[in-house]
Chain A
């Protein structure tokens, strides 16, 4: 079928006759790629500009509208050897970029000011112990004020704004003591300068802002990097839909541009791109990504169908429904809303520290001023000492302590194929004591695999090669066993039943029992026999039943054993039938398992655990898992999960292994202990510095040395997270992750997870 590809939604037209598109490109990993892509596209007629962004793996192309088109550009890239995917720049990404740039600008201003004020301050400190005259000191103080005041007003904005937002909602965050400290230090210094005093704290105030901005920028940069990577992955995975135009013609459009009431066609073997109602056609759909159910369900016109379901046999015409209009989705949305509200009540470590810290700091400062007044000091001296306390206790080290560890931890998880959706995930992951797994697609791989143990290799080879011509998921699983990957000539696919053709002069059929001439499936060959589905093959009058099983992730037993050895509670909550769940649970040695659960029951189970004081990590991929993921303390999803589910998960993992679950917990625990160490260091620093400040012995020199010293110390401690071996459980349990691969070891890996192999490669390149 030849149909036009419509990419108009991705093309931007800034001025008439010129068009622009951004494409995410796969497998770009060397300098040669840059040249090949840019030169290759440059040769096309009508191209104005091509620029490959190597860091983001995206290429931006601008061209004269009449001379070429986005489709031709993608085709040209394909010819050079790169697959490119249109990339819709989201609004969040643009805002994010704006924010990062703003922070970098503030950082530059603060850095410039800190350097120049320090230049003057060092001269002042030297002058104070030698022969500096009063006039020169005043001049230097005024110069410092001239630099520091405008710089602080500009560079302090992120903190001032955030503090104001917090105060308006009657809360305290770390930015409140920062704002109070910086403002008071600057105001006091200005007063001291005007009254010809010896000490001014301009350098402390501006240096404080510089260090804090460093922490804030690191935090932002980490989030931006993971988000960008996730954006590319989403565009690689983006599905296309066949949409009927007004005159009944079919066009291929990206699924993201479908609107309600569009009419689309879903061919056998394709995933349903949007929720909708079936208008015509009958088929079976594999809803494992939606409900966890592994046996294909029959559907007829008039029924509702969900995005992510795989169409198995017949072509379906679907009318796209508005988002959230179906009952299942409404139910899931409602559950999600409730679960998300409950989750936002958990408080981050940094905020918990801030809640304790801010009142303590402000009370200490007030007590210092009061104490000195009672002891008979002048009002001026009492205020100066109080401000010195505020400056020295400004949470410089604390504000750096957590973001730097988070960044190091996220980088480490990134190398272990885990992408975080937000920074505080690490803290929550570290606290986990119970791990809840979904079965389908989480403990097992998304694709089935043929159980070939009892089948003659020659028969299998013929069946597998015949299966190459079919779109049915069961046939696709079987086709992976084919050694010679060439389909037989003249094979016909009969929609809804199977494929038939001629092999070595004899009639061969592959498909349902009925299609292969069996009238009634016998109990042993029943399609719903235990965990397996069955596909039938006849050749030369001989019928073979080939069971297609769900395959456990290759390292699942090892990971499960390792988690159990560390006394984690493991539970399986599945939407699949208990007949399918039981063998998997038995094989893994997990005793607590529940089958046939609805999304609401999954949430109830998790909330029950949580109310028992458990901290739950939920690992799941189905649409039905989304509310449970949101309800759990923290959640992980494989990259193959349904889109809504991915958006709900706190972190995603790549690849066909389950070991990222272990890595996520291990790395996070190490990161949390570093965070606690850092907070401890900050407390020790305060315990040493505060008495000196309260005693009124803090000069600007001591303040500057103490502040930069503690900041550097916590940063170095955070960087220790990069050192050392990957926390590996293999050595602890004494077996390798490949120890027990359940069945069909000979399945070529690159075929099983083709797209994940590419993204793995990409992941390594991004590093």
Chain B
């Protein structure tokens, strides 16, 4: 059962990273415009700019 010593903290750390990531997306208002985000990938005018 020694494997638990690093497996459990690793699992928690991964979960916590996900949670912090979600909090970050929430703080930076990334859920304000879900439909817009889906559409913004469509135009490819940025290719012309290069």
Interface residues of A (CB under 8 A from B): 30-32, 34-35, 52-56, 101, 104-105, 108-109, 112, 115-116, 119-120, 133, 136, 139, 143, 147
27 A-B pairs (CB sep. < 8 Å): A30-B39, A31-B39, A31-B40, A31-B43, A34-B36, A34-B40, A34-B43, A35-B43, A35-B45, A54-B39, A55-B33, A55-B34, A56-B33, A104-B26, A104-B31, A105-B23, A105-B26, A108-B22, A109-B19, A112-B16, A112-B18, A116-B15, A120-B8, A133-B1, A139-B4, A143-B8, A147-B12
In the assembled complex, the Cα of A53 lies from the Cα of B43 at a distance in Å of: 16
A-B pair number, CB within 8 angstroms: 53
Chain B residue numbers with a CB within 8 Å of A32 are: 43
The answer to whether B47 has its CB under 8 Å from any CB of chain A is no
Chain B residue with Cβ nearest A136: B1
Chain B residue numbers with a CB within 8 Å of A104 are: 26, 31
> What 16 additional pairs, Cβ within 8 angstroms, besides A52-B36, A53-B32, A53-B36?
A30-B39, A31-B42, A32-B43, A34-B39, A34-B43, A53-B33, A54-B35, A54-B39, A55-B33, A55-B35, A55-B36, A108-B19, A112-B18, A116-B12, A116-B15, A136-B4
Chain A residue numbers with a CB within 8 Å of B15 are: 112, 115-116
Chain B residue numbers with a CB within 8 Å of A35 are: 43, 45
Residues facing A in B24-50 (CB within 8 A) are 26, 31-36, 39-40, 42-43, 45
In the assembled complex, the Cα of A115 lies from the Cα of B22 at a distance in Å of: 15
Known A112-B16, A116-B11, A143-B8; contact A54-B1, beta-carbon cutoff 8 A: no
Secondary structure type dominating chain B contacts: helix
Chain A residue numbers with a CB within 8 Å of B33 are: 53-56
Chain A residue numbers with a CB within 8 Å of B26 are: 101, 104-105, 108
Chain B residue numbers with a CB within 8 Å of A119 are: 11
Chain B residue numbers with a CB within 8 Å of A53 are: 32-33, 36
Number of interface residues of B (CB under 8 A): 23
Residues facing A in B1-17 (CB within 8 A) are 1, 4, 8, 11-12, 15-16
Interface residues of B (CB under 8 A from A): 1, 4, 8, 11-12, 15-16, 18-19, 22-23, 26, 31-36, 39-40, 42-43, 45
A112 contacts B19, CB within 8 Å?
yes
Chain B residue numbers with a CB within 8 Å of A139 are: 4
Chain A residue with Cβ nearest B16: A112
Chain B residue numbers with a CB within 8 Å of A108 are: 19, 22-23, 26
CB distance from B15 to the nearest CB of A (A): 5
CB distance from B31 to the nearest CB of A (A): 8
Chain B residue with Cβ nearest A116: B15
The 5 residue pairs across chains A and B that have the minimum distance between CB atoms:
A54-B36, A31-B39, A31-B42, A112-B19, A53-B33
Chain A residue numbers with a CB within 8 Å of B11 are: 116, 119
CB distance from B40 to the nearest CB of A (A): 6
Scoring B16, B34, B39, B43 by chain A CB atoms within 10 A of each residue's CB, the highest score goes to: B39
In the assembled complex, the Cα of A133 lies from the Cα of B4 at a distance in Å of: 13
CB distance from A382 to the nearest CB of B (A): 34
Chain B residue with Cβ nearest A765: B35
In the assembled complex, the Cα of A136 lies from the Cα of B4 at a distance in Å of: 9
